[in-house]
Chains A and B, each alone.
Chain A
């Protein structure tokens, strides 16, 4: 199974600033996603990180606010731009593997607090 490393694990940021979260996978994966988990809530998909092309965003999420890079099959970044307290959440990177069966794995998450 894929091992996913996220950095940073947590951060406290000032409103109006930006934070870039890194996701490193120990193997090449085609399908990589970014999710958000707001306090006390379940996970919501932000976007699909496409290698070599622009990310595909879900309804309610836009590229200007959450720019995503995917330079290769093992790495992606999510930036949370012009942050406000409402952006305080856990941000999670996920990959899907389909060899044999289908399994979806998550990183440990980045806990972001905006003050």
Chain B
């Protein structure tokens, strides 16, 4: 069963065009939801951990929010350097194993 579902699969934005990525999850007793950025050929770069509904975290043009069923990654006024695949993951057990979504590939055109 899918525990983490990301949408859309791909997102093409014009520079400055704000948008949001979605991550829905089905695990019970959420112990942490993670957002990562991954550039081609590189390992995932940690962005945020969210723990409870209502929590928000920001980093530069990125803002992550969390509800009881999903998380959003908002990209405000994106720049071409924000182009990457954004991955969402949750802990699936008490031993810190991560289950990942398929990712959203964001392309920002100048």
Question: A-side interface residues toward B, CB under 8 Å?
Answer: 1, 4, 6, 31, 33, 35, 41-45, 48, 58, 90, 92, 94, 96, 98, 101-109, 111
Contacts and interface: CB of A to CB of B under 8 A. Distances in A.
Nearest to A58: B97
Contacts of B59: none
The interface residues of chain B, by DSSP majority, are classed as: loop
B32 A42 contact: no
Interface residues of B, number: 24
Nearest to B44: A106
Interface in B21-55: 31-32, 34, 36, 41-46, 49, 51
Nearest to A106: B43
B4 to A, nearest CB: 9
B101 interface: yes
A92 B43 contact: yes
A111 B101 CA distance: 21
